[in-house]
Structure 1
Amino acid sequence: MISFLSKYDSVLKLHFENSTRFKGTSNLIQNDLILSVGEVMLKTIKKEISEASFVAFILDETTDISNTSQLSKIVRYVTKQGQIKERFLGFVDVSMQRTALALNEIVLSTIEDLDCGLKLVGQSYDGAAVMAGQLGGLQAKVKETYPSALFVHCMAHRLNLVMQQSLNKIR
């Protein structure tokens, strides 16, 4: 990736051509750089959220080709300038624990980490019982702690289901 970027960045290209000590191509160095960039981005997101009036969480679980269940965490908020921001916070491996209780722990720890519990007004998940169930689903558990967090079924998921069903009827 960094070699590809050097084709479009003359300073980076010059560095690769002339550097004798540090090129930054080691996988350990690249992982450290990725972690550092991630920390800076998360700090910026936390600052924006601290200034926001309202926050909502969007979670979606999917299984990848290696049979690993991953939960994507997204936070949505309105900045003080009135801009709607939607930020991807990362993936969490939930292969071993896909219960509403386990997912609730992930949500609560994320809310605590972002320090936005009092601002939480929305939550959006797919229609699976573990997520959307009114009595024991994740949305009900989050609502017990944060009563203002209204649940809205993920419209993107609904659109995907409608498209799948309609395309199944076309020969």
Structure 2
Amino acid sequence: MKSNLLSKVRAASVFGLLTDEVSDVSVAENLVTFIQFFCEDTGSVETHFLACQNILTFFESANSEAISALIIDGLVKHCGLSLSSVTGLAPDGASVMVGKRSGVAARLKQVNPILLNVHCVCHRLALACTDSNPSFKYINNVETLLRQL
């Protein structure tokens, strides 16, 4: 399945990445990455799961240097894709991802200056919803309680 996906990505010549780091109950820091590209076969933009990498397996912390290295390593070594083909990055708004000097986006832009960094729309919507209505505080409290359980 992955080789079929990668052949479609190579045919598209350019692609974007949607990525975020996620902690699970075992306190593992995982980097989850999706890839988005125009598929000539279907004539539409497609988004597919690309990778889930445990950051702490290779690095001591989930900092921007570690995340950037995992993205580059995953694309180049494991997928055989060129970093110059990445035209878009959509991370959450965390400073580790979008920091102007040493965030993941800034590090990837050093390698590929045409990369366009856009704050993920889903993350922006979630932030807007939690701040827009006081009644959402109850939902946040329930979510926090459920996570703690």
Q: Residue 54 of structure 1: CA displacement?
A: 1.9
Identity of aligned pairs, percent?
Answer: 25
Q: 1:61 aligns with which of 21, 32, 35?
A: 21
Q: 1:102 aligns with which of 63, 66, 87?
A: 66
Q: 2:75 aligns with which of 108, 111, 114?
A: 111
Deviation readout 1:30-51 (Å, 9 max, x if unpaired): xxxxxxxxxxx11011110110
Measured in 1, the distance between the counterparts of 2:104 and 2:81 equals 20
TM-score, with structure 2 as normaliser: 0.80
Structure 2 residue matching 1:134: 3-state secondary structure: coil
TM-score, with structure 1 as normaliser: 0.70
CA gap 1:73/1:156 in 2 versus in 1, 3 angstroms: same
Give, as a single letter, the amino acid of the residue that structure 2 aligns with 1:42. Answer: K
Q: Residue 53 of structure 1: CA displacement?
A: 3.1
- List alignment gaps of at least 5 residues for structure 2: 139-149
Say whether 1:151 aligns with 2:117: yes
Work out which structure has the larger RCO, using CA pairs closer than 8 Å and 6 or more positions apart in sequence: 2
Contact 1:49 1:116 in 2 (8 A): no
- List alignment gaps of at least 5 residues for structure 1: 1-40
Measured in 1, the distance between the counterparts of 2:113 and 2:95 equals 20
Q: Detail structure 1 runs of 4+ shifted over 4 Å in the superposition.
A: none
Say whether 1:43 aligns with 2:9: no
Give, as a single letter, the amino acid of the residue that structure 2 aligns with 1:51. Answer: A
Measured in 2, the distance between the counterparts of 1:77 and 1:51 equals 10
How many pairs align? 130
Q: Residue 142 of structure 1: CA displacement?
A: 0.3
